[in-house]
Chain A
Amino acid sequence: MPEAAVLTSAAVRELTLGEAVREALAEELRRDPTVLVMGEDVAEAGTAFKVLSGLVTEFGPERVLDTPISEAGFTGIGVGAAMTGLRPVVDIMFGDFVGLIMDQMMNQAAKVHYMSGGKWKVPMVLRTTLGATRRSAAQHSQSLHAWFCHIPGLKVVMPSTPYDAKGLLKSAIRDDNPVIFYEDKMMYKLKGPVPQEDYTIPLGVADVKREGDDVTIIATSSMVQVALGAAKMLEEHGVSAEVVDPRTLWPLDEDTLVESARKTSRVIVVDEGYQRYGVTAELAAVIQEKAFFDLEAPVKRIGAMQVPIPFSPPLEDSTVPTEKSVCDAALALCGKA
């Protein structure tokens, strides 16, 4: 069903992104008995963010399973379980903790299919978080999704709206590959229309969140909301901004990004990960390789500042892209600064 048709159907309610995630999990747990959720405090506690509240009541502690605080161990168990008939959704509370599980993801999950000549598969989802400005300091605030994007064999999903979160998570769970599903913890309360019915959004299809003519802002996860805010500010300056959300960083829908770049001829890439060797670098390279002769200006990148995320609120706020910083960059790119 086309997205527009889904969103205009009768059974659309406003849900928060957290509720959309929970609904996707509940629907998949109901649909497929091999799906299970595992991680720290996912059952009665419903995770530290309360995103999974109530799931254990419906599905029981066998399918919504609390683990010890052993990220590498239970992620590895998820990999083995995925190889042998289950579809685990492994919860890593804070994205910063992926440092503890990298061998399981990049040496095991990512490579099992290839190393076995295509014989074993790893249909698992790793749900984790990104995003700063929660006053959680340097070990609970990072956006490290670029690490996974670097590894062949993994897929990386970055929803920016409740609608996308539900449809993409259901696709991720049904995918036969290891998929890392990133939720920005600052977006859990973000509300948006979400259909009650079963729908999926295919991995690898970008979405133009706002049409415009003068500048393209390619943004990921919560930076899409920042880009949409910046686009409104730009309107007041007479600049028409298009906002494009890749939705999945791998597979990457290069065509939609390049098409928008060709149309507007000016591109800004915004991502909350570190700029150095990061997602903005990759997306900028794609645009410059495929749309160079249509560009009026070099592609501008905006990412997190190259510092450990500080605790002090004014310091922390200065490290992440904002509507104003994106708006200012767009004005400069359009020669209106």
Chain B
Amino acid sequence: MIASDPVKSETTQDAGLWLRAYRRMMMIRIFEEHVNDLYTRALMPGLAHLYIGEEAVAVGVCEALHRDDYITSTHRGHGHCVAKGAAPDRMFAELLGKEAGYCKGKGGSMHIADPDTGNLGANAIVCGSAGIATGAAFSSKRLGNGRVAVCFIGEGALGQGVLYEVMNMASLWKLPVIYVCENNLYNEYTHFSEATAGDIAARPAAFGIPAETVDGQNVRVVHAAANRLVGRARRGEGPGFLLANTYRYTGHHVGDISRDYYRSKQEEQTWKAERDPLKLEAARLIAENLATPAQLDQIQTEVKAEMDKAVQFALAAPYPAVERVTEDVYA
């Protein structure tokens, strides 16, 4: 473990950063509310895995990255894309299978990729991108371009052996990669404690990879820890592991409505009431006089307008011509 730096000193020095982070979290929240709405109105095909409740992790981490740093994402990946700077209109277009989407409609919700923001792609295989992220870090080191790679994984990925293979090599070769493990408590419909033996942070420690464990509902502590790990990686000091304890407000996917058999409504309500990353950050911004309630309302209004416009763009956008189906199989 790296000793936790005092967060307080960082919290007040950059009001712009925290306001930007708040806006990004709001973007993810409202983006996902639209996804839920589109899906339940049968306007969105396929599957939708919502990131609501976990916004502080993606935003706290991505605010520590440069635009050309790499990320890989998961099936629950919309938040990572937004946090890394993707345009919501093209994301919605991809979710609806439209030509204007980031992947021309060929990837969909679970595969958004965007070289312009360093997004190597979301992945529908649990832990499927651990190799890719580590390989991107390998390239960065070889090419000396100073980029770091962040591999977002859920705690379910701790069950995949390939994670330990690449963590071993990342440490051996001092690669600039940060494994960000979002522990939202549930491997799909199973509490992680039923699937995970031992201590999570002991895993990276076994490979000599520095690990930090943070409250994933507090964007500032996530950011502070990410900054430390990214800084080390960028200086050539090797990989890092960030365990962010968080919570998935909704089901495994939008259709996962009846959740009583694996968790209680009381548990969900407690997290929403007491641990909401947006509410907590709003309270801090107001308490520190970094924003007024009216300013925060204004942010919400602006984000809502932006997202409404993005959804309208995607709904109106055309589907790809069927002839496109055979394009892009080979480069």
**A→B interface (CB under 8 Å):** 36, 62, 67-68, 70, 72-86, 103-104, 107-108, 112-123, 152-153, 155, 176-177
Contact = CB atoms under 8 A, between A and B. Distances in A.
B6 interface: no
Contact of A86 (B133, B139, B169): B139
A86 B121 contact: no
A73 B127 CA distance: 11
A80 B327 CA distance: 22
B305 to A, nearest CB: 28
A190 B134 CA distance: 38
Contact of B113 (A62, A85, A86, A115): A115
B262 interface: no
B107 A117 contact: yes
14 contacts: A68-B169, A73-B162, A74-B165, A76-B132, A76-B166, A77-B166, A78-B131, A80-B139, A81-B135, A81-B139, A108-B129, A112-B113, A115-B121, A119-B114
B134 A117 contact: no
Given A76-B162, A80-B139, A83-B132, A115 B103 contact: yes
A118 B165 contact: no
How big is chain B's contact interface, by range? 35 or more
A75 B121 contact: no
Contacts, number: 147
Contacts of B101: 117
A240 B140 CA distance: 57
A110 B139 CA distance: 20
A177 B330 contact: yes
Contacts of B327: 118
A104 B115 contact: no
B247 interface: no
Interface string B115-140: 10000110101001111111111111
B228 interface: no
B113 A75 contact: no
Interface of B: 70, 101-107, 111, 113-115, 120-121, 123, 125, 128-140, 142-143, 145, 149, 161-162, 165-166, 168-169, 172, 327-331
B134 A77 contact: yes
Nearest to B122: A115
The 6 tightest CB contacts between A and B, nearest first, are A76-B131, A80-B135, A73-B165, A117-B103, A117-B104, A80-B132
Nearest to A152: B329
A166 B265 CA distance: 64
Nearest to A77: B135
A116 B133 contact: no
Contacts of A62: 142
Nearest to A103: B125
The residue among B129, B133, B149, B165 with the most chain A CB atoms within 10 A of its own CB is B165
Contact of B111 (A70, A72, A77, A115): A115
Nearest to B120: A83
A120 B140 contact: no
A107 B331 CA distance: 17
A29 B327 CA distance: 31
B131 A85 contact: no
A72 B136 contact: no
Contacts of A74: 165, 169
Nearest to A72: B162
B136 A73 contact: no
A98 B277 CA distance: 44
A82 B105 CA distance: 24
Contacts of B136: 80-81, 83-84
B209 to A, nearest CB: 14
Nearest to A65: B173
B329 A70 contact: no
A118 B172 contact: no
B329 A116 contact: no
Contact of B102 (A103, A107, A108, A117): A117
